[in-house]
Amino acid sequence: MSNPKTVVVISRDQVLTSLISKFLKGLCQIIEFATFGSSLDFVYSSSPDILLIDITSDDPAAVSMLNDLKSDPVLGHLSVFAIFGDAFVVPGWDYLLVDDYIRRSSLEAELRSRIELTIQRAERAIEVNPLTGLPGNIQITKQIQKRLDAGDQFALAYADLDFFKPYNDRYGFSRGDEVLKMLGRLILNTVKDRQPHCSFVGHIGGDDIVFIMDCENVEETSGKIISYFDEIVPTFYDIEDRTKGHIESADREGQKKVFPLISLSIGIVCNDRKHFAHYGEIAEVASEMKKFAKTVKGSCFKVDKRSVSPV
């Protein structure tokens, strides 16, 4: 395979992990962890392709963490493959949210082909942005509409880069892609750190990323995202431009112009102030607030504080 997939193997059994590495040699990159809890930082920050977990006996803590991960809007698409001891009996598939499993006695005969099938199935089924690995437009729409239909209160934030085109013109698209990957990972990590459960991060395309959180968390989180971004983004410039604090590039008319370093604008809307029935309605308000944030010099976020008066 030209681009080996990453498989996280979780097991305390060194004999088992050695066998897995042997059977999957050349197919994928293996990252090993002894416990599910110790793997979570890597799983959330690196978004592996498959989680291969050893469940040879009843382990309620591991099962609970696994089910939480599979219920997460961001990482719920992650393919989870379980290895069961030959005597282990699953109480029910609502008890253990895995996508496939194999018995330990069948590893040598079946593991490699079953993992290959899991990889192919995941590639066909999941719609994600290829650059950031974040859920794309289909999942974004589903997440917003599902919450609206359920009557949930939540905040939708729309993040967008300022002066990104001049950066691409000056440094090229490959370096621009690195900025986008940094932005996606920064927003994902900051959102999940503040609200591990029931939050969501998606990549619309280009430099447009959205995230969903509880209303009471979104402003603090947006402030942290902006603070971290402003600290990190100068490192993506050559030292000369970083020292000057600006770059010279052509504007849309082809005229040479001075542009500031990239900044970040975030527009936020909460549905606790007004009712939205359709995802397009709340997305439009978030977009309006993002445009308002862009009128302010430097990175900032703006929140829609308008309310609909009772009829």
Beta bridge partners of 268: 157, 303
Question: In angstroms, rounded to a whole number, what is the distance separating the alpha carbons of residues 44 and 130?
Answer: 17
Q: Characterize the bridge pairing of strands 263-270 and 300-303.
A: parallel
Query: Which is higher by pLDDT, 228 or 311?
Result: 228
Average pLDDT, the chain: 89
CATH code assigned to 5-125: 3.40.50.2300
For residue 83, CA distances in Å to 11, 12, 163 come to: 10, 13, 49
Q: How far apart are the first and last CA of the chain?
A: 62
For residue 245, CA distances in Å to 4, 257, 259, 260 come to: 39, 14, 9, 7
pTM over 0.75: no
pLDDT band at 123, cuts 50/70/90?
A: low
- On the question of pLDDT at 283 being above 50, the answer is yes
**Tokens 């440094």 belong to residue:** 171
Which residues make Cβ contacts (< 8 Å) with residue 24, sequence separation at least 6?
A: 7, 30, 111, 112, 115
Helix (H) or strand (E) holding 147: helix 137-150
Mean pLDDT calculated for residue range 281-309: 91
Q: Is residue 122 within 8 Å of residue 5, measured between CB atoms?
A: no
Would you report the helix, strand and coil content of the chain in percent, each value rounded to 5? Answer: 45, 25, 30
Q: Is residue 303 within 8 Å of residue 268, measured between CB atoms?
A: yes
The pLDDT value given to residue 311:
37
The pLDDT value given to residue 63:
82
Closest by CA position to 300, among listed 289, 310, 308, 309: 289
Q: What amino acid occupies position 101?
A: Y
* Level-2 CATH architecture, domain 137-303: 2-Layer Sandwich (3.30)
Q: Is residue 225 within 8 Å of residue 186, measured between CB atoms?
A: yes
pLDDT tens for 219-230 read 999 999 999 999
Q: Is residue 235 within 8 Å of residue 181, measured between CB atoms?
A: no
Which residues make Cβ contacts (< 8 Å) with residue 87, sequence separation at least 6?
A: none
Q: Is residue 214 within 8 Å of residue 195, measured between CB atoms?
A: yes
Domain boundaries, the chain: 5-125, 137-303
Query: Which is higher by pLDDT, 193 or 59?
Result: 193
pLDDT band at 58, cuts 50/70/90?
A: low
pLDDT tens for 129-145 read 888 889 888 889 989 99
Q: What is the DSSP letter of 13?
A: -
